[in-house]
Amino acid sequence: MLYQKAVVRGRFTKVVLLLSFILIQTISAFSANVTLAWNPSPDPQVVGYRVHWGVSNGNYTNSAPVGAVTNATITGLVVGTTYYFAATAFDGTGGESDFSNEAVFTPLAPSNAPPTLNALVNLAINEGASQQTVNLSGISSGASNEVQTLTVTASSSNPGLIPNPTVNYTSPNTTGAISFTPVAFGFGAATITVQVNDGGASNNLVTRTFTVTVNPVNQAPTLNTLANVTINEGAGLQTVNLSGISSGASNEVQTLSVTATSSNPGLIPNPTVNYTSPNSTGSIAFTPASAAGGSATITVTVNDGAVSSNTVSRTFTVTVNRLPTITAITNQVITVGAVLAPIPFTISDVETAASSLTLSVTSTNQSLIRNSDIVFGGSGANRTATLTPLADQTGLSQITVTVSDGQGSASRSFLFTVNPRPLAPSNLRVVQISP
């Protein structure tokens, strides 16, 4: 302890004071308080004390009476400035003692409390997972008396698998979130680091980490869609090209197999497959049954051989159209100038009403009979064809009548002959006949 013998001032002969101080931290980073304490004066005439202070040794530019107490708090001190303090005692007549021992104090900026963030749990997801959101909680400046703008950042140790997350946070909220989407077809692990920064000069960071494990999952193989096919009864070998065949992911090297089945093998037998792995294209081939019509669903399946998510199937419909029919028409022979009666014939179709069938005709000898000179009559299944050759023309033409259902057709041909008129007799005379 340091004691100072007082110089006589007024009536005091001896005053012994011991001065000490206690720093009281404040909210502001630029001001501080200090609490001073001293031993009481032994003089019974003392009625109070006064504190003196300044910014240089022994030069006290400020003072304040504090009453009959042995401690006092001085406020408004500038952080980083050195202050010098002394105390005096005074009696009822205003007599004041000499200064006590001098106490020196430099208020320092209060220490920054680190921000807070609750721990984060590890996360396991499957390859190909969609966007993930991780909630953040327990975010604070670290002390109720620290009003700071907080920032949150997040980074990934493996951005090739998990890109740096997107942060959704507004200061001074206690909660927020980060979100991320694993890269397509990637698997493995990444450490996600989340930091809260309160902007202080020190103790300004809190860091939390968690691990994201992306489990590998087999990606289903691929095959492009297939268009429906419509063919006519009796069509020959059909080939359908396949495209877009793959294992489903560039990092999956697998042996692919392709199969094809028919829902109606009596019409369309199971197709033959032409494919070699790992080509992206191939084909299937089939021949419809003869004299048959209807439809069949063809299912083409690609299999990558994995335990799960190992197949993709595409289907398309093959429709075999039954052709309409037309009865035979006999050859027709007339003499020039004669009128030919309507020629009857019948038409039919298994799938289409006779009234919905259409007729057309062609002549191979337009100089004898034009297409427009052949007119159809009748209705339903019973039809007729009326042929009117050009005047005074003779000769031969093949006439072909075709019936169509809009998908396929059938035709019948016959010969149409126009003969010249017989030669007239000549040298007509009267021959006398005896009675």
| 331/15: higher pLDDT | 331
Q: What is the mean pLDDT of residues 283-298?
A: 94
- Confidence at residue 21, expressed as pLDDT on a 0 to 100 scale: 46
Round the average pLDDT of the chain to a whole number and report it.
91
Tell me the β-bridge partners of 21.
36
Summarised one tens digit per residue, pLDDT across range 317-371 is 999 999 999 999 999 999 999 999 999 999 999 989 999 999 999 999 999 999 9
Q: Which tokens hold the place of 15?
A: 């005053």
How much is the pLDDT for 19? 54
Q: What pLDDT band is residue 20 in, cutting at 50, 70 and 90?
A: low
Question: What's the whole-number mean pLDDT along residues 390-401?
Answer: 96
**pLDDT band (50, 70, 90) for residue 107:** confident
Stretch 234-251: mean pLDDT, rounded? 94
Give, in order, the Cα–Cα distances in Å from 113 to each of 110, 144, 201, 204, 206: 9, 10, 11, 7, 10
251 pLDDT band, cuts 50/70/90, is confident
Structural domains of the chain, ranges and CATH numbers in brackets: 19-105 (2.60.40.10), 123-215 (2.60.40.10), 229-321 (2.60.40.10), 325-419 (2.60.40.10)
> What mean pLDDT is predicted for residues 282-303?
95
Q: Please check the confidence at residue 6 and state whether its pLDDT lies above 70.
A: no
Which whole number is the average pLDDT over 387-393? 96
Confidence (pLDDT) at 250:
86
Task: Say whether pLDDT at 31 is over 90.
Answer: no
Give the mean model confidence (pLDDT) for residues 49-74.
Answer: 94
Three-class secondary structure assignment of 327-389: CCCCCEEEECCCCCCCEEEEEECCCCCHHHCEEEEEECCCCCCCHHHEEEEEECCEEEEEECC
* pTM confidence score: 0.60
Ordered DSSP codes for 193-243: EEEEE---SSS-EEEEEEEEEEE--PPPPB------EEEETT---EEEEE-
Q: Of the given ranges (3-17, 184-198, 324-338), which has the lowest mean pLDDT?
A: 3-17
What average pLDDT score do residues 193-222 get?
94
Q: What is the pLDDT of residue 24?
A: 46
